[in-house]
Amino acid sequence: MKSIFNYITGIFKGVWTLLKGMSVTGKYFIRLDKIVTQKYPENRKKLKMYDRFKGEVIMPHDAGNYHRCTGCGICELNCPNGSIEVLTDKITTTEGKSKRILDKYIYHLSMCTFCGLCVKTCPSTAIAFSQEFEHAVFDRQKLTKVLNKQGSSLVKDIAE
C-alpha cells in the first residue's frame, strides 16, 4: 500500500515540476518587450558581450609596453590542464641582487577550458579575460600565443 502511495505521489510531483518549468518557458515565449537572443553573425559590429564574459586570456600592457607580470608562475600552477607556460630569466640588479624577470608567457588557447583559475589567482592582476570570442583557425599553431610583447619586462622597475 505504501509503495503505491509513493508511486502516485512521485507522478504528481513530476507533473508539478514539469508545469513549473513550462511556466517559466511560457513567460519568455509571450514576453516580447525584451529580446534576449542576439543575432550573430549579422550584428557582429554592434555585438555587446557581458562584463563577466570569459574570452581568451590577455596580458594588458601600458603605453611604455610594460606589464605587471612578475613571472611568479602561480597561474601556471593553478591551470588544470597546462595551457599556460611561464618562462623566466634571472638578472642581476645594480645592487648585486639576483631577480627573476619574465622571459616568455606562453598561452595555449587550444587547451584552455576558460575556467578562470589563472586570472583569479594572479597576485599582481597581470592577466585578464578579453572580450574576443572568435577563435576559428585552420592552423592550430595560431592558437598558441606569447602574451608578453617583445621588449616588455620589469627592468624599468628593477633599476629604480
pLDDT tens profile 92-114: 988 989 988 899 999 999 999 99
Listed by start position, the domains of the chain span 1-37, 57-150
What topology does CATH give the domain 57-150?
Alpha-Beta Plaits (3.30.70)
Predicted local distance difference test score (pLDDT) of residue 156: 42
> CA dihedral in degrees (18, 21, 22, 24; nearest 10)?
160
| Cross-strand partners of 99 | 91
Model pTM? 0.70
pLDDT by residue (tens digit) across 61-85? 888 888 999 999 999 999 999 999 9
Q: Which of 143, 160, 149 is nearest to 62 (CA)?
A: 149
Q: Could you read off the pLDDT of 21-53 as tens digits, one per residue?
A: 999 888 877 876 666 677 888 888 888 788 888
Rounded Cα distance between 113 and 50, Å, is: 19
Distance in angstroms (rounded) separating the CA atoms of residues 110 and 137: 10
